[in-house]
Structure 1
Amino acid sequence: MGGRGELTVKRSWMFLIMVILFCVGCSDMSETGQPTISMKTDSEYEDTFKDLNLGVVFDFDFYLPHADKRWVNLWVERYSDGKKDSQPLTELSYGNNPEEVEKGQMGFGIIKPRSEDTLVFLYGPGVSVHPSRIEQDFSTDVMSSWDYAIGKEKVELKLGETKILAAYKETGSNSMRSFDLQDEESVKNMIKENDTVLLLKIKVEEGMVDSY
């Protein structure tokens, strides 16, 4: 009886291990097909910006399978009094990585917002653009707010689809409300109700694409 009992326990453990390995394998397989992105937890970049009072940084974990055959476009749109600038405020475009899989941190930083020397920059795994100065009407009598459009859970990025990752907004009014950045109408209302809105966007495509 003891031998049969031990055999049953061993079989149970083997079955459990096989289930765990199968689940891990499924998780890995689901991650290898589509690009994913999520808000970076315990971000050192965010901590540094906060400790030094530098401004705002949106930091993400980015995963790109088939990086040797895909192109990444990351850019920031600016809306002033409801009108969109003709060109991105800043942009980062790269791809055809020699490595098949690319992963690391990606994000957007605003150094000293609402000052005469406001700088913005973008970065991705192994790439970045130098900070560029924003031309704006300097005013200290404004309210500002910023929000991530995605959370800590991984979000799949469909190829060819534009995704809003974060938003920064300023208003001269005495109140500011939150908006659903995943809802198109809500985003339109946010642009209308605020003096300045910055939208961080991303799009991943097959091959090299010249424009958005």
Structure 2
Amino acid sequence: MKKVYLSIIFLAGLISTGCSANIDHPTISKNTESAYEETFNDLALGMLFDFNFHLPEADKRWVTLWVESYSNGERDPQPLTQLSYGNNPVEVEKGNMGFGIINPDGEDSMVFLYGPDVKSAPEKVERDLNQGLLATWDYAIGEEEVELELGETKILAAYRKSAGNSMRTIDYQDEESVTSIIEEGETVLLLKIKVEEKESEFYYN
């Protein structure tokens, strides 16, 4: 009996250690039951990528969400759109995070970003996002929670448009695969996120 109790205590300790090791990690996952995405589709507004975001120690961290744009193998010098905020007065922040494209098939396409309690103003896009050509929009992560390492960049979603007759499937978490489609001259948009440790007396959004 004593051995049973010791085994239970040992297992409980392991579980506790595992939980405490991961509890301070930010996490993000694809929102499979997104009311935002459903509304966007119902109203035919455009495309929306919606995620569940969880940020422990939000009062000590800074979040940057942005869209990189590539064409003819080159990255545009400025992000297509960007949202940067942090040092929230609450210790734990959680909610919806995402990227929206209004009227992607028209001449007046607009993009915006949002996070829990923050959002960017819609910005006009000075490039053709017409989906009539060989183009695709993809989530780069799935339903399972993904841990975000502090200081590292993670691709969340992507848009690709090819001038060729075919488009291969790639792993957006594989750097070589992403580099290859950029070098092939495809038009590529990459939604990216980075969380950093950054303490401040103020809350910015």
- TM-score tier after normalising by the smaller chain length: 0.7 to 0.9
Aligned match of 2:133: 142
Unaligned segments of structure 1, at least 5 residues: 1-17
CA distance in 2, matches of 1:179, 1:134: 25
Q: Which has the larger radius of gyration?
A: 1
Q: Does 1:162 align with 2:153?
A: yes
Instruction: State yes or no: 1:129 paired with 2:137.
Output: no
The alpha-carbon deviation at position 32 of structure 1 amounts to 2.5
- Do 1:36 and 1:154's aligned partners in 2 also have CA atoms closer than 8 Å? yes
Q: Could you tell me the TM-score, scaled by structure 2's length? A: 0.84
Q: Distance in 2 between matches of 1:138 and 1:101?
A: 36
Q: 1:119 aligns with which of 110, 113, 127?
A: 110
Paired amino acid for 1:176: M
Q: How big is the shift at 1:143?
A: 1.9
Which runs of 5 or more structure 2 residues have no equivalent in the other structure?
Answer: 1-8, 201-205
What's the offset of the Cα at 1:83? 1.0
- Is 1:179 matched up with 2:170? yes
Q: TM-score, normalised by structure 1?
A: 0.82
Q: Which residue of 2 aligns with 1:202?
A: 193
The CA distance in 2 between the partners of 1:115 and 1:191, in whole Å, is: 24
Moved more, 69-78 or 134-143: 134-143
- 1:13-61: per-residue Cα shift (whole Å, max 9, x none)? xxxxx99x98986786455211111111211122122222222111111
- Aligned residue for 1:33, secondary structure, equals coil
Distance 1:156 1:65 in 2: 12
* Structure 1 residues 138-195: Cα deviation after superposition (integer angstroms, max 9, x where no partner): 7675221011111111111111111111111112333222111011110012223353
- Rate the CA distance shift 1:203–1:181 in 2: closer, same or farther, 3 A: same
CA distance in 1, matches of 2:76, 2:38: 31
Letter of the structure 1 residue corresponding to residue 88 of structure 2: N
Alignment of 1:60-99 (within 5 A): 60-99=51-90
- Name the structure with the higher helix share: 1
Computed over aligned residues only, the root mean square deviation of the Cα atoms, in angstroms, reads 2.7
Displacement after TM superposition at 1:124 (Å): 0.2
Matched residue of 2:41: which SS? helix
